[in-house]
Amino acid sequence: VSGPDAEALLEYLSVARVGGNQPVGKGVYTHFLDETGGVHSDLTVVRLGTESYRVICGGDTGHRDYVWMTRMAEARGLGRVHFEDRTDQLATLGLWGPEARQTLQALADDPEELSDERFPFATAREIRVHGLPVWAFRISYVGEQGWELYVPFSYGLGLWDALYEQGVTPVGIETYANSRRLEKSLRLQNVDLLTEYNLYEAGLARPKVKAADFHGKAAYLEQRERDGQPAYLCTMTLRENVDAAGVARYPVGQWPILDPETGDVLVDSTGRRSYTSSVVYGPSVGEIIALGYLPAAYAREGDTVTMEYFGEHYPLRIEAVGYRALYDPDNERPRS
């Protein structure tokens, strides 16, 4: 997103401050809200220059966010902004884990530039790997240190081969976007983050509200002034997972959350029904982890609710109300 109006547009759309005195190469995790304060988008904005930004969206939200930005620019009369969809031009690899830095240093033309002091968290810059230009963004979606590595598609296979030769383990979306992120209590747009819920309910509200206006700010401020929210996103663990036939079950997907006494689906004061927005086995903690919005009266750490899974009932213990990781392997800050 570039041009004289790029900063004005992204500042208006973003809850966080992405422009102003943010330095080139600084990445900011932020959200776009709808007019009711619901979470429309969950993304990262990196300043590339005085009038240019890279907007990094989730794998299934890019086109929707692109349309949202273009429509908002038109609605606000911001005609001096240019959008370029790079989805079909850039390959991306996530290099994450306790040995991410030493693995990349073994391939980098200048290994020392990848040190924690010279390449801090949430910054991005171009590096060279075996002479190839790689745009490296130090951020992680699995709770451990690492980088997102962006290269033209023509370089993608070469970069992958070099990393694989260093012993990198290939994993898919079930690992980084489900099991590891749930151990870190990270949220996923269109699953845990929805326009039906606000950032305070999701545990992602920022400590301060920026002075500049942004879309949905009035609703966001009203939500901030409440004594409490109707519901809260909770991290839970499944305490038993053996079904009536004695088979161990490992659920994924969305399942109703019930009152353990009555067996009724939990419903908050606005009429929203509770369900597991995410659920998966977390290998680091040895637990089946679930996220779900619970009515305020039920959102109490240590209490138990019930999950219905294919007609059978399983106990869920509430481990955290709002954001708190069950497994925090190092000091890297999460996206949230």
For 300-330, the pLDDT digits (tens) are: 999 999 999 999 999 999 999 999 999 877 5
Q: What is the mean pLDDT of the chain?
A: 94
pLDDT at residue 335 is higher than 80: no
Residue 214, CB half-sphere, CA atoms under 13 Å: how many? Answer: 23
Span between the terminal Cα atoms of the chain, in Å:
23
At the topology level, CATH places domain 90-170 in: Gyrase A; domain 2 (3.30.1360)
pLDDT digits (tens, 9 = 90+) for 193-251: 999 999 999 999 999 999 999 999 999 999 999 999 999 999 999 999 999 999 999 99
Region 115-136 average pLDDT? 95
For residue 191, pLDDT over 60 is answered with yes
Second CATH level (architecture) for the domain 6-75: 2-Layer Sandwich (3.30)
Residue with tokens 């419903």: 267
Task: Name 225's bridge partners.
Answer: none
What is the per-residue pLDDT for 336?
31
**pLDDT value for 74:** 97
185-205+227-321: same fold as 6-75?
A: no
54: which strand partners?
46
The yes-or-no verdict on residue 16 having pLDDT over 60 is yes
Confidence of residue 143 (pLDDT cuts 50, 70, 90): confident
Q: Give pLDDT, residue 330.
A: 58
Instruction: Count Cβ neighbours within 10 Å for each residue of 109-123 and write b for 16 or more, e otherwise.
Output: eeeeebeeeebeebb
Nearest of 292, 303, 122 to residue 203 by alpha carbon: 292
Per domain, the residue ranges of the chain are 6-75, 90-170, 185-205+227-321
pTM for the model stands at 0.93
Tell me if residue 311 falls in helix, strand or coil.
coil
DSSP tag of 297: G
- What pLDDT does 60 receive? 81
- Determine the Cα–Cα distance for residues 103 and 107; give it in Å rounded to an integer: 7
Q: Residue 124: left if φ>0, alpha if ψ -120 to 50, beta else—which one?
A: beta
* 64, 122, 126, 150, 180 from 91: Cα distances, Å: 20, 20, 15, 6, 22
Q: What is the average per-residue pLDDT within 11-26?
A: 96
The kind and range of the H/E element at 65 are helix 62-75
Spatial CA neighbour of 317 closest among 301, 332, 331, 328: 301
Which DSSP state fits 7?
A: H
Q: Report residue 53 as tokens.
A: 């930004």
Q: Which fold has domain 185-205+227-321?
A: Elongation Factor Tu (Ef-tu); domain 3 (2.40.30)
What is the mean predicted confidence (pLDDT) over 95-119? Answer: 95
> Which tokens in the block code for residue 249?
């079950």
pLDDT > 90 in the chain, percent: 87
Q: How far is CA 152 from CA 62, 139, 257, 306, in A?
A: 18, 20, 44, 48
DSSP string, 93-148: EEEESTTHHHHHHTTBSSGGGGSTTTS-TTBEEEEEETTEEEEEE---SSSS-EEE
Using CA atoms, how far apart are residues 285 and 279, in angstroms rounded to an integer?
A: 14
For residues 167-191, give the mean pLDDT.
89
The residue that leads in pLDDT, 195 or 174, is 195
pLDDT tens, position by position, 262-296:
999 999 999 999 999 999 999 989 999 999 999 99
SS3 175: helix
CA dist., res. 31 & res. 43, Å (int): 6
Rounded Cα gap, residues 192 and 186, in angstroms = 9
Backbone angles phi, psi at 268, to 5 degrees: -85, 180
Nearest to 209 by CA among 37, 23, 88: 37
